[in-house]
Each structure stands twice: as C-alpha cells, then as structure tokens.
Amino acid sequence: MEKSQKSELSKTDEKNFIGDRKVKETRVSKDIDKSKIVKVYTFESNSAGGILCVLIYAKAQFVIKKLDVEDWDLKKQKFDYEALPIIKINKVQYTHEIPIILYLGRKYNLLGDKNEDVYLITNLLYSIFDLKEKILPAFLPESKEEYENQQINIDKLLYEEIPTFLKRFEAQLEGKDYFLGNKISVIDLYMSFFILLIFKHPLRINLLGEILIKNAPNLDNLTNSLLQNELKEYFTSYFEVNSPL
C-alpha cells in the first residue's frame, strides 16, 4: 500500500460528497431477470451501506426499499426478526447484517479461499460491530445516563477504545494490500464503508481523521483507494451525507 496516497478527499470528490445531491435508490438494468434483483430493505441508505458496497463491487442489480420509521410498527411483522436491514432475492428473505455480508461474500466469491479467511472476515466484522456499540452511546446518547456521561464516553473512545481497535485492524493489514493478501474480500468493502461512515464523515473527520491516520495509516490508504475507485459509485451516489450515523 502506497503511504504517499492522499488521506484527504480530492476537491471533486469533496464536492460530490458534501454537495446537495439526490441519493440513488436503484441500480437495475432494463433487461435484468427480476429473480436476480437484490431488494435491500432499510430505513436509510447508510444503515445498509456495507451491504450496498458489496453489491456495487460485485456489479449486482439491486433496489433500495426505504421504510418510514413512523410506519415501522405496522410493517415490522412482515420481516423476519422484525429488524432491518434485510435483503430479498427471488422472494427469499435474508436477515441480520453479518450473516447477510457472509452470504453475499459466498455468492459473489468474496470470502477468500480458506477456512482461515472466513474466520478472519467474521472476526473483523464482529469487531467492527463491537466498536459501533461503543461509538453510538457516545455520539448519539439516548438515555439520561448516556447524556450525563457523554463527555466521559467520548474521551474514553478517543484516547483508549478507538486507537486500540484501529491498531488491531492495522495489524491485520501489515505487509498486505488487502486483509486477505492480494485479493479484495467483503471485509475490505465493509471496513471501508465503516471508516467512511465514522471517521471520514464531514461531521466527524476533524475529530477522528487524525486518530485514524495516526493509528491505522494503511487502513486509511486502503479506504481512500477503494472509495476513489472500486467503491466510487457508492461514495458519490448512495452515501447519505446528511445522516449522522
């Protein structure tokens, strides 16, 4: 991985990213077999961003079906486990984000070649979710206790928890172009979405950008490369910049 690669967004990408643009909700050719279309059900594009990144990289045909949070109580019984995001392919429902990512990885040959590859991918996916669970109450407190402890939680995140997780992620990239070596897998795609959402979002880049570069420069470079190339379509067309998380 070239360390000279820019950590910042290019001016063109920054304009596309921050500018007033309509987020796309479909990626379907006119002559596609409808049974092959992946329907992604979510409240907003960012909630299913990791799934969309895999579908875009795999050049899959998909449609985003956005549901209104206010209508969720009336509609949730139609979905297994009453949780989003989910996907449907040919009327078959697939639920829970990590199993969906692993399923798509197998479907599109993005899970590596060895059992150890699947283990590493699964381990890193769960690690990302572990970090998410620490980030949410700090940046988006809901309970009275979370509000009262918000600054304490943020300080702990910035100086302890986030650097620890980033160093673990970076260690898995040491001496490699991608997490599995020289071949892109679902974890590279999902991790890049996560880094974009948390560390490169305009609301947080001034706070978290330098922490990312300091603790995980190769991960930063990998994310920049994918967002400017293989995942540029997601970055410029599907990412909802106005959503905080």
The pLDDT of residue 18 is: 36
131 with 96, same domain: the answer is no
194 with 148, same domain: the answer is yes
CATH code for the domain in which residue 139 is found: 1.20.1050.10
142 with 222, same domain: the answer is yes
CATH code for the domain in which residue 16 is found: 3.40.30.10
Q: What is the pTM of this model?
A: 0.86
Instruction: Check if the beta carbon of residue 27 is closer than 8 Å to that of residue 74.
Output: no
Q: Domain count for the chain, please give it.
A: 2
pLDDT in tens, the chain (245 residues): 443 343 343 444 433 333 343 556 666 666 677 888 999 999 888 899 999 999 999 999 999 998 888 888 888 888 889 889 999 999 999 999 999 999 999 999 999 999 999 999 999 999 999 999 988 888 777 888 888 888 888 888 999 999 999 999 999 999 999 999 999 999 999 999 999 999 998 888 898 999 999 999 999 999 999 999 999 999 888 887 766 56
Of 50, 72, 107, the position where a domain reaches its end is 107
The pLDDT of residue 29 is: 63
98 with 122, same domain: the answer is no
**Amino acid letter at 126?**
Y
The pLDDT of residue 5 is: 40
36 with 93, same domain: the answer is yes
Of 107, 142, 173, the position where a domain reaches its end is 107
Of 60, 88, 107, the position where a domain reaches its end is 107
128 with 217, same domain: the answer is yes
196 with 214, same domain: the answer is yes
Whether residue 2 is contained in a domain is answered as no
Supply the range of the domain harboring residue 173.
Answer: 115-230
The pLDDT of residue 40 is: 95
